[in-house]
Amino acid sequence: MFRSIVKRLLTVVPTLLLASIVTFGLLKLIPGDPATVIAGDNATPARLAEIRGQLHLDESLPQQYGRWASHAIRGDLGTSLYSTTKIATTIQARLPATLQITLGALLLSVLIGIPLGFIAGWRSDSAIDKAARTISTVGIGIPNFWLGMLLVTVFALKLHWLPAVGFHGITGGLGQTAKYVVLPAIALGAASIAETTRQTRSAVLEVRNKDFVRTLRAIGLPNRTIFKHVAKNIAVPVFTVVGLQASRLLGATVIVEAVFGINGIGSLVVDSVSRRDYPMVQGVVLVMALLILFVNLVVDITYRIVDPRIR
């Protein structure tokens, strides 16, 4: 098992290389010249050439990539074209907010989706199952910005239980952070909770009818033991879904951030793209790619721990 985990870790290297090349290359393919943007429409050709030289835009693509990548490895993602701030610093400032609502949403998916899906699958066609199916269909159908606005209206503006907008860093204490995270996490996570419930349910439904479950019952083992067996057997599909949700949530935060006025990564990307702030977009995409790579790695390693056939 240890060997296969090391092997899996090694596959990260080419994936990362590819991701960085794609990140770098994609932006180079987009029409529009950053030098023109910086210098303005009426700049002289000499001024444009000077800016290109400063930004190394006159070098060949592999050279530019090499320069960018070698800096990136050291944590230097360059400087924003728009302001003079370091990209790494900006991302560092914006990332916690996004991570907190993403993790909050993911936590809700796991804590609500898995148990609910388990019960629904075990007692299929019961009242609980029907309720779970209805709720999850609704959960998948509701747009997250609408749910976000609804939550703000009800819990912030009408009931005054929770703050309507903003974000509070973890340094201010967990209670404060949670207050700010709850509503965005629900708005962001509703679809994930629903999806996790549905997938867990169908996994349980499938495993429940397997021969080995009949064996466990046949030799008279109590339900407690049977649940344990079912739980370990559904682990692979369930972890897969949770992993997919994690990636999806990271990408979906942008709208929820807008609704709740949170300065996270999502809004940073949108702003940077509209400003043609190439290095910033590259930096953010690279960090996102890293996060998703990490999530997939964790999921894959979990597979190997849980299912001996994958080792």
Each residue 256-295 as x (binds another protein by CB under 8 A) or -, in order, gives: ----------------------------------------
The answer to whether 222 contacts another protein (rule: CB under 8 A) is yes
Give the residue with the Cβ less far from another protein, 99 or 306. Answer: 306
- The least distance separating another protein from the CB of residue 4, rounded to whole angstroms, comes to 15
* 124 burial level (CB within 10 Å; 0-12, 13-18, 19+): middle
Nearer to another protein, 203 or 280 (CB): 203
Binding mask 197-216 for another protein (x = CB under 8 A): -------------xxx-xxx
Give the Å distances, CA to CA, from 304 to 7, 191, 257, 293: 12, 28, 35, 17
Comparison of 234 and 286: residue with beta carbon closer to another protein: 234
CB of 204 to another protein, least distance (A): 15
Tell me, what DSSP letter sits at residue 173? -
Using alpha carbons, select from 129, 236, 148, 127 the residue that is nearest to residue 191. 148
Q: How far is CA 158 from CA 151, 154, 155, 194, in A?
A: 10, 5, 6, 26
Q: Which of 43, 49, 178, 306 binds another protein (CB under 8 A)?
A: 306
CA–CA separation, 306 and 311 (whole Å)? 9
Residues in binding contact with another protein, number by CB under 8 A: 22
Nearest CB to another protein, comparing residues 161 and 212: 212
